[in-house]
Structure 1
Amino acid sequence: MTTSTATDALTADVVPAATPPMPHVRTFKPRRGRITTAQSAAIDRLWPRWGFEIPDSSAVPLARAELFGREAPLVLEIGCGMGEAVIAMAAATPEHDFLAVDVHTPGLGNVLAMAERAGLSNVRVAAGDALDLLRDLIPAQSLEAVHVYFPDPWPKARHHKRRIIRPDAVALLARGLRPGGRLHCATDWAEYAAQMLEVLSAEPLLRNTAEGYAPRPAHRPVTKFEARAIQDGREVFDLCFLRAAAPLA
């Protein structure tokens, strides 16, 4: 993937607040996939204006006004896949901006192509590690919502440390949310859902909006992946938490 827009052009000269220390454990594995002509063309055409690569480290936060052309409530979607959910939500709430993050080039190309076809101006994409983005480029208390839909469950016990919903990563997610901001996760992996509930409930800055798992909110569309999971008989679990103004006792 080429980047004709330098990352430093998308950042402002402001020092971000201190962030919790993070072990350098990747929550994803690189995936190879065939990129279609339409996806490749969308990247070539739209990446300079609508996309950027997440650097390994940065001293300055994202310049949202330059990236989106305005200052609006920002929703971060981590692991956007092929983009059905983020495109549907961006179309439904044009007053919000959406930043879709993934490491899968065909998926990011698909997001760009769908956003262009739908005439959406409130969708941007970023390639790389979402935790690097949150640690270095997203100021504290600046996000309206964070969506983590169907992340890699890393089913083997020795790989559980790579799950994105783990205590140190959740502290970083909570830090990025404004007071009252929403962290919404979903998974079709029952054991991971139980761990998510335990970890999210233990984070002092978050409070659950439900008694345990939440019903699927109307704003979250059912993706093709989720439809297949349901067809295969797997239950889908939603977890909806709000960011408190101060740590809960």
Structure 2
Amino acid sequence: MAFVTTSDGTEIYYKDWGPRDAQPIVFHHGWPLSADDWDAQMLFFLANGYRVIAHDRRGHGRSSQVGTGHDMDHYASDTDALVQHLDLHDAIHIGHSTGGGQAARYVAQYGEPQGRVAKIVLVAAVPPLMVQTEGNPDGTPISVFDGFREALAANRAEFFQAVASGPFYGYNRDGVDVSEPVVANWWRQGMTGSALAHYEGIKAFSETDQTEDLKAISVPALVLQGDDDQVVPYKDASLKQAELLSDSTLKIYEGYPHGMLTTHADVINPDILAFIKQ
């Protein structure tokens, strides 16, 4: 198992597959998952000649279950520690959901200033800001996220089961076939991580204003979103991302859920590949 140790002593687990001289793709996973959520993409892009790297966010998966640093600033600095450790250049960063926020902050504050980033892909990502505020009246009310915290603290196992079998993959929609193995894999990844990291991570993904991160990114960006995303409503996220990014391409998929990287990998993977090859 491969780990990199950050400046505050946190051990970040990572996978690194493929030729060392190939263009690297770095994957940033969603809450409360792990690098394993990128299996379908890792294998696809590896087969297409890329070096593929995915890591477990601090407190998630196999990384250290530390009691501090569960915020976007630490997520981004942890990514920088990994990139520096592997000395990656000309990298493509792909982030899903919370991982989209992590990727955006890393690229804006580390990757682009260091000249290490070629492109960024945001998939059903949380920026610029999820929670409803005076300046963001169309956001999700804080009471929703308070409900997440309450449910997680009361019974994390039941809460995670409900999320995976319901809104995350759109399995609560009429006529949709539920994949029990997919639900079980989501639950497995979540339960491997730290309850504290997951609890505090709700604030990180919902209350972090990343408007300035998006404005600072100048490399080509691809924004992907499903219009039946019940976790990150596309009108409050992807449309604003496309407006704030200086060089963006927006693609919205009709009927796709939040977890579309799993349910529709056969469509989305080639679309990302086409963008990378442009």
Q: Same fold (TM over 0.5)?
A: no
TM-score (norm 2): 0.37
TM-score (norm 1): 0.40
Structure with greater helix percent:
2
